[in-house]
Structure 1
């Protein structure tokens, strides 16, 4: 029977000379029997080039036992994975959103890297720039928003009195739809208001926590994206890897162009809305402009919801201003769909209008707001795969 010396615990070359690792289950004795024999063979398999030996022969996949075992294991693994996905759905959505944002800022990072910036410096510069822009925006906007929110709270009693004035636009809406009655039912009962406040507080804290998780994950994903990309492509068989690289990089480019372009279009929407509201003296202009910019990130339905909200607030000024605001959003929506989107992101994403609407609706139903946000680039990726892989194969059969 073969025997071995245990080796020094700190000897890093031990596994290459003997099958029994010097840091595992010492002392090593002859009482190990057939395991010691296998360890002697393991010592022969271990080489400097292959410290853990060469891969062995594949199992006979046609064996009835192997087929049955593999089928049963597949069903069990599928069930466990399905349960895990359902349980971790919220966390998986946050991870997916962070990866989506990391791919979105990658064009800017790669642009700096191509100009001889180190990867770490490029990531830091892009993220620091975004942080400065967002931080500066909120530093300027928060005082104004707080001031306008305070003014709204002081003006709330006057708005309630306006609801009872049948000659005012709000009074006419109240007489037709019973707005005041609905508000009184909503606010009736102190416990109901308290519960609503507690629920709102929990929702805000939860949203801030999710936002922090997404920001941290986005930073890590952006910094490590080359290795993530490389690992993903190594999971593909070597014979198909070049083709997958071409298609995968094209999909990543579409996502990046969409994220940056969508952010730019939303900024334009908020700026134009702010100018319009200032010109016509609509109250809470900055607050409403920020709301429109955020809603415009959601394709198709975001601008509609924002326009309706702003138009209702414009009713506090007059009917003509409200109707003009409705017309403004209709014109802006046409300009956005047929001028801004085609010029900024349309040439890269290339998703037909019908597919856009269907994708946004399905994304909203499946994953809510996040699903609506990522629906268009996902649809673009699906269309690319259909045109490059599925349709050619079907044409050849």
Structure 2
């Protein structure tokens, strides 16, 4: 018993040290985390090519080349599109400001019975002018800091170079790394860790590969549908909605709100906003009944509130790295929690029957007595507590 307790404390200390090191080195781990995700995505394809007779280096080279081509193609396709969409948005920004001043804000004032000066643009502009000096000073300070921090720019460039290099070597040596980790695990916990690792791999595979396809599908659907509706910024709204769809309902809410405002500003009628509503209703049905069940499945089992909490907690603890890894980490944590719940239900703490309490037993016997038998016994069946002086209670 003492040996088992000591071993558990040692394992807990190892886990805590690893967690502390990850938290401490979070800014440095960004390229390695992205490279690890790319290697994880490419490993099944490399294994499939290897089973067909290729050596590991050739298989990895082919997979790596395909990933690089896909990345370059996506950049060549998306960068000009995003550039034109942002340029279009900036060009139409005065129309949005005019609509907000002359349509949206007066409507809110009328419906909510607000003070007519609540949204006085003159006062807002005066306040901005009053603080423009401090804003300029802050901007100058920030620009000076950025211009002086050449080390930061060098680090970013280094990370960009490190990601493909680390991805290639991780992908090439992935099976060797897994085998090495398996060899160094304590033999007492190795079967359990292997079982949890396989279950986590199934969950992560369903999430990472499936959720990326869901985001891509929703982005294409929303962007294409809003473009067919006639919105000039439809592709940009569709891309944002698809990108944010990894958080439940966030992509829907952001995309729906932006599309409704764009339709009202661009057309000024109610027909196009109603069509936009139809587009997003169909999008939700497509996501809930086709894309997620087919591509992700029900292996993850994360509640929407848990997803939102995981993203916020990951961002607070580890910054952008935490946001990037929040949902995969939450999926693995759910696997561990399900395992701990199963162990708890098999433990003595859960299965052991409660002690026989004579007072409770006597009350249960009295309550189970049929009506009409022994009336008045319920009030006297429970033994009175002993008198403080040691005698019987009166």
Q: Give the TM-score category using the shorter length.
A: 0.5 to 0.7
Q: Offset of 1:82 from its aligned partner?
A: 8.2
Matches within 5 A, 1:215-226: 215-226=164-175
Residue 235, structure 1, aligned to residue 199, structure 2: no
Residue 284, structure 1, aligned to residue 221, structure 2: no
Which residue of the other structure, out of 108, 114, 128, is the alignment partner of 1:185? 128
SS state of the match for residue 117, structure 1? Answer: coil
Name the counterpart of 2:79.
142
Residue 102, structure 1, aligned to residue 51, structure 2: no
Which residue of the other structure, out of 333, 337, 355, is the alignment partner of 2:284? 333
Matches within 5 A, 1:36-115: 87-115=24-52
Contact 2:39–2:167 (CA<8 Å) still a contact in 1?
yes
Name the counterpart of 2:53.
116
Q: Write the distance in 1 (CA, Å) between the matches of 2:321 and 2:209.
A: 16
Name the counterpart of 2:353.
none
Name the counterpart of 1:385.
336
Matches within 5 A, 1:362-373: 362-368=313-319, 370-373=321-324
Q: Write the distance in 1 (CA, Å) between the matches of 2:34 and 2:211.
A: 15
CA spacing shift, 1:180–1:326, aligned 2, 3 Å: farther
Which residue of the other structure, out of 301, 310, 327, is the alignment partner of 1:376? 327
Which residue of the other structure, out of 213, 222, 232, is the alignment partner of 1:264? 213
Q: Write the distance in 2 (CA, Å) between the matches of 1:212 and 1:173.
A: 51
Which residue of the other structure, out of 231, 254, 272, is the alignment partner of 1:305? 254
Contact 1:296–1:306 (CA<8 Å) still a contact in 2?
no
Q: Write the distance in 2 (CA, Å) between the matches of 1:127 and 1:182.
A: 53
Q: Write the distance in 1 (CA, Å) between the matches of 2:258 and 2:338.
A: 40
Q: Write the distance in 2 (CA, Å) between the matches of 1:136 and 1:315.
A: 34
CA spacing shift, 1:390–1:348, aligned 2, 3 Å: closer
Q: Offset of 1:121 from its aligned partner?
A: 2.6
Q: Offset of 1:217 from its aligned partner?
A: 3.0
CA spacing shift, 1:144–1:378, aligned 2, 3 Å: closer
Q: Write the distance in 2 (CA, Å) between the matches of 1:256 and 1:85.
A: 23
Q: Write the distance in 2 (CA, Å) between the matches of 1:79 and 1:97.
A: 23
Deviation digits for residues 2-50 of structure 1 (CA, Å, limit 9, x no counterpart)? xxxxxxxxxxxxxxxxxxxxxxxxxxxxxxxxxxxxxxxxxxxxxxxxx
Contact 2:56–2:172 (CA<8 Å) still a contact in 1?
yes
Name the counterpart of 1:131.
68
SS state of the match for residue 235, structure 2? Answer: helix
Q: Write the distance in 1 (CA, Å) between the matches of 2:122 and 2:295.
A: 44
CA spacing shift, 1:374–1:323, aligned 2, 3 Å: farther
Contact 2:23–2:317 (CA<8 Å) still a contact in 1?
no
Number of residue-to-residue matches in the alignment: 325
- TM, length-normalised to structure 2: 0.65
Deviation digits for residues 167-199 of structure 1 (CA, Å, limit 9, x no counterpart)? x45775798756787688399455555567778
- TM, length-normalised to structure 1: 0.65
Q: Write the distance in 2 (CA, Å) between the matches of 1:123 and 1:173.
A: 59
CA spacing shift, 1:270–1:197, aligned 2, 3 Å: farther
Contact 2:207–2:296 (CA<8 Å) still a contact in 1?
yes
Matches within 5 A, 1:137-216: 137-164=74-101, 166=102, 168-169=103-104, 172=107, 185=128, 188-189=132-133, 190-191=136-137, 210-216=159-165
CA spacing shift, 1:88–1:382, aligned 2, 3 Å: closer
Deviation digits for residues 250-301 of structure 1 (CA, Å, limit 9, x no counterpart)? 3123223311111111111111111122112212233333323322344553
Deviation digits for residues 180-224 of structure 1 (CA, Å, limit 9, x no counterpart)? 876883994555555677789989967666555444433332222
Q: Write the distance in 2 (CA, Å) between the matches of 1:170 and 1:346.
A: 44
